[in-house]
Amino acid sequence: MRPGRLIGLLSAVLGFWWAGSAAAQTIPQYGQDRHVGVTSCAGSTCHGAVTPWKNSTVLQNEYVTWEQKDRHSKAYKTLLTERSQRIARNLGLANAHEAKVCLDCHAHNPPAEKRGRVFQVSDGVGCEACHGGAERWLGVHVTGLASHDDNVKAGLYPTEEPIARAKLCLSCHFGDQNKFVNHRIMGAGHPRMSFELDTFTAIQPAHYVVDEDYTKRKRVSNGVQTWAIGQAMAISTVLDGMLDPKRNRDGIFPELVFFDCHACHHPMSNVRWEPRASVGLQPGLPRLNDSNLVMLAVITQRIDPTLANKLKQESLALHQASAQGNEATVAAARALRATTGELVTKFAGHAFGKADMQALLTGVVEAGKAGEYIDYAAAEQATMAISAILTAMRRAGVVDENAYKAMRAALDKCYEATAKDEEYKPRVYVAALQAFEATIPKF
Ligand code: HEC
Ligand code: HEC
Ligand code: HEC
Ligand code: HEC
C-alpha cells in the first residue's frame, strides 16, 4: 500500500473517532466541573508570565496575551458601554451587565454552585470558558506530569480538535439552544455576527505556538481542514436553530437572523439584485443567509462530488421551502442537516493535502466568477476562506514566499471591497477577485 493511502486510511479512522467524541463534547459553561476563575490561572509562575518561558512546553504568558490583545477579556466591559445600555433599555432589561441573556456570551457564566471562591463573572470570557472548569485538572496539570489526554479526561476541553472547537466558538458566535442573539436583540442594536473558524482562531489572537513540541503533544489540523470543518459545523449549527421550535419563529414571521441581513438592510437606491442559480428564488423575497452553504458547495465538490450534488439539491429545496412556510422549511432543513452532519465527519477524516488546497483556492474564486458572491455575507466568507487557504499553503510549502506575497497583496483588495458591508458592490468585489486570480501561480 502506498504511504499516502495508508495516511488517508489512518486519518479516516482517526477522523471518525474525532467526530464521534467531539460532537458529544459538553461545552464548558454547561459542564460538571467547578470553575476556579482567571485569577487562579494568572500567577506569574503559571500562565501570567510577562514574557514566554524558554524551557517550557507552553508559553506561560497566555494571561498577558488574553488580557492585552484578546477581545474576550473585554467582553464583560462591553456590557457597561452606552451601546449595551441602549440595547438593554430597548429590550426592557434593567441593565446589560446583570442580564443572563448578555452574560451568557459576554462572560463565562456557569451556575453559581459551579463557581469557585475567586471566580468573577466580570473577568469576561475567561480561560475556563474555553478550556473547561479546572476543578479536577488543575491539580494534575500544575505538576507538569500529566499528559494532554490525562488533562482532557479530567475535564479539560479539547480546544485543539476542530469539531470541538467549532462547537465551542459557535455556541457564542452564533448561539445554541440556551443562548441566542435573535433578530429582536439585533433590532435593539446588537451588531451583526459573522464567524470563520480558522480566521477567528488566528485573530483571537493565538496565545500558543504550534511548534514541533506542540505537534508531538497534540494532533494538528491544517488551516484548510479547520476551515472546511468550520463551514460544515457553522451551517449545522444554523440548521439546528431552524429546527428548534423555541428559536425558529417569532409570531407570524420566521426568525430573521437566519436570513441574509443585507437582503433587507440596504439602501433602496443600491439596486443590485440578480438571479442566483443556487438559490432559485424570484426578486423581492428575503433570502436565507447561505454564505456557509456557498463555501460548503465548493469544498464538497472537491472532496465528494456525489454528496456535492445532494447538497446542491437540498440547499435549493431549503431556499424554495423558506418562501413556502414553516413546515416546509423545517422538513427541508432536516434533510440538509443530515448531509451537513455527514460532511463534518467526512472532512474530519480527509487529509486536505496540497492538491486539495490548490483546487479549493481555485474553487472559491470560480464561485465568485459564477455569480455566487452577489450577497455580502458570501463575499465576506470567501475572503476569509482565501486567507485561510493561503496561510495553510505557505505553511505546507505549496507556494514560495514571492508568490505568497503577491497573492496576499492582491487579497487586500478583496478585503477593501468587503470592508463596509452596507456599501458592498458585487462588481467591485468580483473585479478584485479576478485581479487576485491573476496572481495565482500555475500549479
Ligand atoms: C463564552 C462565549 C464565547 C466563546 C466560547 C467564544 N467567544 Fe469569541 N467572542 C465572544 C464575545 C462576546 C466577543 C465580543 C467581545 C467584545 O468585543 O465585547 C468575542 C469576540 C471574538 C473575536 C474578536 C472579533 C472582532 O470582531 O474583533 C474573535 C476573533 C473571537 N471572539 C474568536 C473566538 C474563537 C476562535 C472562539 C473559539 C475558540 C471563541 N471566540 C469562543 C464570546 C465568545
Ligand atoms: C449568543 C451570544 C451572544 C449574546 C446572547 C449576546 N452577545 Fe453581544 N456579542 C456576541 C459576539 C460573538 C460579539 C462579537 C461579534 C463580532 O465582532 O463578530 C458581540 C458583540 C457585541 C457588541 C459589540 C462589541 C464591540 O466591541 O463592537 C455589543 C455592544 C454587544 N455584543 C452587546 C450585547 C448585549 C447588551 C447583549 C444582551 C442583550 C448581548 N450582547 C448578547 C455574542 C453575544
Ligand atoms: C476563546 C477561547 C479561549 C480562551 C478564552 C482562552 N483560550 Fe487558551 N486556547 C484556546 C485555543 C483554541 C487553543 C489552541 C488549541 C489547543 O492547543 O488546545 C488554546 C491553547 C491554550 C494553551 C495550550 C498551549 C500548548 O502549547 O499546548 C494554553 C496553556 C492556554 N490556551 C491557556 C489559556 C489561559 C491561561 C487562558 C486565560 C488567560 C486561555 N487559554 C484563554 C482557546 C482559548
Ligand atoms: C426580512 C427582513 C429582515 C432581515 C433578513 C433582517 N432584518 Fe433587521 N430589521 C428588519 C425590520 C423590518 C426591522 C425594523 C425596522 C424599524 O423598526 O424601522 C429591522 C430592524 C433591525 C435593526 C434596528 C434598526 C434601527 O433602526 O434601529 C437592526 C440593527 C437590524 N435589524 C439588524 C439585522 C441583522 C444584523 C440582520 C441579519 C442577521 C437582520 N437585521 C436581518 C428586517 C429584517
Give per-residue pLDDT as tens, 401-433: 999 999 999 999 999 999 999 899 999 999 999
Task: Assess whether pLDDT exceeds 90 at residue 51.
Answer: no
Best of 91, 184, 250, 261 for a ligand 4 pocket test (most atoms within 8 Å of beta carbon): 261
Angle formed at CA 258 by CA 256 and CA 262, multiple of 5 degrees: 70
pLDDT at 272: 82
Q: Is 16 close to ligand 1, i.e. is its CB under 6 Å away?
A: no
Q: Is 58 close to ligand 3, i.e. is its CB under 6 Å away?
A: yes
pLDDT at 8: 47
Give per-residue pLDDT as tens, 102-117: 999 999 999 999 999 9
Does 190 or 273 have the greater pLDDT score? Answer: 190
- Give CA–CA dist 347/353, Å, rounded: 12
End-to-end CA separation in angstroms for the chain: 27
pLDDT at 145: 78
Task: Over range 299-325, report the average pLDDT.
Answer: 97
Q: How many residues does the chain have?
A: 443
Residue ranges of domains in the chain:
26-157, 159-443
pLDDT at 1: 40
Q: Is 103 close to ligand 2, i.e. is its CB under 6 Å away?
A: no
Q: What is the pTM of this model?
A: 0.96
Q: Is 202 close to ligand 4, i.e. is its CB under 6 Å away?
A: no
- As a whole number, the mean pLDDT across the chain is 93
Q: Which ligand is nearest to the CA of 109?
A: 1
Q: Is 198 close to ligand 3, i.e. is its CB under 6 Å away?
A: no
Task: Assess whether pLDDT exceeds 70 at residue 175.
Answer: yes
Q: Is 201 close to ligand 1, i.e. is its CB under 6 Å away?
A: yes
Task: Over range 263-278, report the average pLDDT.
Answer: 89
Task: List residues bridging with 180 in a β-sheet.
Answer: 175
pLDDT at 3: 42
Quick one: which atom of ligand 1 is closest to the CA of 200?
29
Task: Over range 41-55, report the average pLDDT.
Answer: 85
- Residue whose CA lies nearest to ligand 2 atom number 15: 193
Task: Assess whether pLDDT exceeds 70 at residue 20.
Answer: no
Task: Assess whether pLDDT exceeds 50 at residue 346.
Answer: yes
Residues of the chain with pLDDT > 70, as a percent, come to 95
pLDDT bucket at 93, cuts 50 / 70 / 90:
very high
pLDDT at 224: 98
Backbone angles phi, psi at 254, to 5 degrees: -70, 160
pLDDT at 184: 97
Q: Which ligand is nearest to the CA of 75?
A: 1
Quick one: which atom of ligand 2 is closest to the CA of 104?
5
pLDDT at 267: 86
**Which H helix or E strand runs over 253?**
strand 253-254
How many CA atoms within 13 Å lie on the side-chain side of 183?
A: 17
- Residue whose CA lies nearest to ligand 3 atom number 13: 159
Task: Over range 320-331, report the average pLDDT.
Answer: 96
Task: Assess whether pLDDT exceeds 50 at residue 4.
Answer: no
Best of 70, 131, 173, 213 for a ligand 3 pocket test (most atoms within 8 Å of beta carbon): 131
